């Protein structure tokens, strides 16, 4: 029988060195908390990160781990999972890491549907390099490198993931610990690539950038928690809802509109059109969705297929025999 592990068993002997108050701590804590529930032994668990504050994560886990190079964690993870499908692989990345330098790999990991889990720490800033704007920074955001305000239009990781045909796409919030833990657990149990975007407060360079979603008081009005099969209701008094009108989502007052008329969330719908509409809901015009936008099962994974082809080839041609291979085709004898 497997020994019952506790969160503490997943902590490495290394001191955690994030800034006090950083949202990363909460994500680390939730990860350590959910891992024992998954029943995967520590030695079968691998964390692979890129570069950034968040990417120090693997050092703090008593599992196998690799702190790799900026933006490329998805590629190392793909190589590992393709050859070692028996391992549970996590990719830890930041908004700069995943979407700037690693944008390409992020897309390709999702479309290949490698069976692993991405946790994208989104603090809408570059933390490690001390405060430049990132691809998720808002328009007009003043940072060290944008004294007159950012003129880049921000990327939305969820939209990108859906566009890349991601089979599991979710969002959570560092401060919403219970939600975060549940979402990570669901991601881990998904077969295929799962993406969890986590709103993470960088209290040093971008403090409060997502306070509207992080702070308990504001959250109810600015965030809508998605649940499969349930209508989209939000607001501190649960008095508001989201309705689909034509090809547009709109906020309605439950005083005026019946619950039956609200949009019912369907995370299993293979056509991502409505999920994409949800992904595009942005504060302050709309409440932002958290929870699982999409969870589609049954799509073949890259790792399964690459290994199945090897098995199929062995069945069809027999296990490779070098001496035979060398001697096929035109050969000649020199005496």
Ligand X SMILES: Cc1ncc(C[n+]2csc(CCOP(=O)(O)OP(=O)(O)O)c2C)c(N)n1
Give me the residues that bind another protein (CB under 8 A), please.
12-14, 41-44, 46, 48, 51, 58-59, 61-69, 72, 74-84, 86-87, 104-105, 108, 306-307, 309-310, 312-314, 316-320, 322-323, 325-327, 329-335
What is the rounded CA–CA span in Å between residue 226 and residue 266? 9
What's the min distance (Å) between Cβ of 167 and ligand X?
24
Q: Which is nearer to ligand X, 97 or 267 (CB)?
A: 97
Q: How far is CA 56 from CA 28, 249, 260, in A?
A: 11, 39, 46
Q: Which is nearer to ligand SF4, 18 or 60 (CB)?
A: 18
Q: Which is nearer to ligand X, 177 or 204 (CB)?
A: 204
**N residues, the chain:** 335
What is the rounded CA–CA span in Å between residue 71 and residue 177? 26
Residue 22 binds which entry of ligand X, another protein, ligand SF4, none, with Cβ cut-offs from 5 to 8 Å by kind? ligand SF4
What's the min distance (Å) between Cβ of 10 and another protein?
10
Residue 203 binds which entry of ligand SF4, ligand X, another protein, none, with Cβ cut-offs from 5 to 8 Å by kind? ligand SF4
Chain centroid to Cα 244, Å, comes to: 27
Residue 285 binds which entry of ligand X, another protein, ligand SF4, none, with Cβ cut-offs from 5 to 8 Å by kind? none
What's the min distance (Å) between Cβ of 209 and ligand X?
11
The residues, any chain, with a CB within 8 Å of residue 332's CB and separated by 6 or more, are none
What's the min distance (Å) between Cβ of 185 and ligand X?
23
The residues of the shown chain that bind ligand X, judged by CB under 6 A, are 51-54, 70, 94-97, 121, 123, 125-129, 134, 202
Q: Which is nearer to ligand X, 156 or 301 (CB)?
A: 156
What's the min distance (Å) between Cβ of 129 and ligand X?
4
The residues of the shown chain that bind ligand SF4, judged by CB under 6 A, are 18-19, 22, 24, 53, 123, 127, 202-205
**How many other C-beta atoms are found inside a 10 Å radius of the C-beta of residue 290?**
23
Q: Which is nearer to ligand SF4, 81 or 124 (CB)?
A: 124
Q: How far is CA 289 from CA 4, 183, 219, 224, in A?
A: 35, 13, 11, 5
* Cβ-contact 180, 201 below 8 angstroms: no
* Cβ-contact 283, 222 below 8 angstroms: yes
Place of tokens 């089979």: 167
Q: Which is nearer to ligand X, 42 or 70 (CB)?
A: 70
What's the min distance (Å) between Cβ of 97 and ligand X?
3
Residue 126 binds which entry of ligand SF4, another protein, ligand X, none, with Cβ cut-offs from 5 to 8 Å by kind? ligand X
Residue 134 binds which entry of another protein, ligand SF4, ligand X, none, with Cβ cut-offs from 5 to 8 Å by kind? ligand X
Q: Which is nearer to ligand SF4, 204 or 299 (CB)?
A: 204
Tell me the backbone φ, ψ of residue 306, rounded to 5 degrees. -65, -35
Q: Which long-range contacts (CB under 8 A, 24 or more apart) does 40-46 make?
A: 40/88, 41/2, 42/5, 42/9, 42/10, 44/86, 44/87, 44/88, 45/87, 45/88, 45/90, 46/80, 46/87, 46/88, 46/89, 46/90
What is the rounded CA–CA span in Å between residue 9 and residue 85? 24
């Amino acid at each position: 029988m497997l020994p019952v592990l506790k969160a503490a068993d997943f902590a490495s002997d290394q001191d955690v060195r994030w800034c006090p108050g950083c949202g990363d701590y909460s994500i680390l804590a939730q990860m350590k908390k959910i891992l024992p529930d998954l029943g995967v032994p520590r030695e079968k668990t691998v964390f692979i990160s890129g570069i950034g504050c968040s990417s120090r994560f693997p050092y703090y886990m008593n599992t196998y781990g690799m702190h790799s190079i900026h933006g490329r964690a998805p590629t190392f993870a793909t190589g590992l999972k393709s050859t070692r499908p028996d391992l549970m692989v996590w990719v830890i990345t930041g908004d700069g890491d995943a979407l700037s330098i690693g944008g390409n790999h992020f897309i390709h990991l999702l479309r290949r549907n490698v069976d692993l889990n991405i946790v994208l720490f989104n603090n809408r800033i570059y933390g490690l390099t001390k405060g430049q704007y990132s691809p998720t920074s808002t328009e007009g955001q003043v940072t060290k490198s944008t004294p007159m305000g950012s003129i880049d239009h921000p990327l939305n990781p969820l939209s990108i993931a859906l566009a890349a045909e991601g089979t599991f796409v979710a969002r959570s919030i560092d401060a919403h610990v219970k939600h975060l833990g549940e979402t990570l657990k669901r991601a881990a149990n998904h077969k295929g690539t799962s993406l969890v975007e986590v709103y993470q407060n960088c209290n040093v360079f971008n403090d409060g950038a997502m306070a509207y979603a992080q702070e308990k008081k504001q959250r109810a009005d600015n965030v809508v928690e998605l649940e499969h099969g349930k209508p989209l209701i939000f607001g501190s008094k649960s008095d508001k809802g989201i309705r689909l009108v034509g090809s547009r989502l709109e906020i309605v007052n439950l005083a005026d509109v019946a619950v039956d008329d609200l949009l019912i969330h369907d995370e299993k719908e293979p056509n991502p059109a409505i999920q994409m509409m949800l992904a595009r809901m942005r504060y302050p015009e709309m409440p932002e969705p958290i929870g699982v936008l999409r969870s589609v099962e049954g799509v073949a994974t890259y790792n399964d297929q690459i290994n199945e082809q090897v098995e199929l080839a062995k069945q069809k041609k027999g296990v490779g025999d070098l001496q035979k291979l060398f001697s096929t085709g035109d050969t000649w004898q020199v005496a």
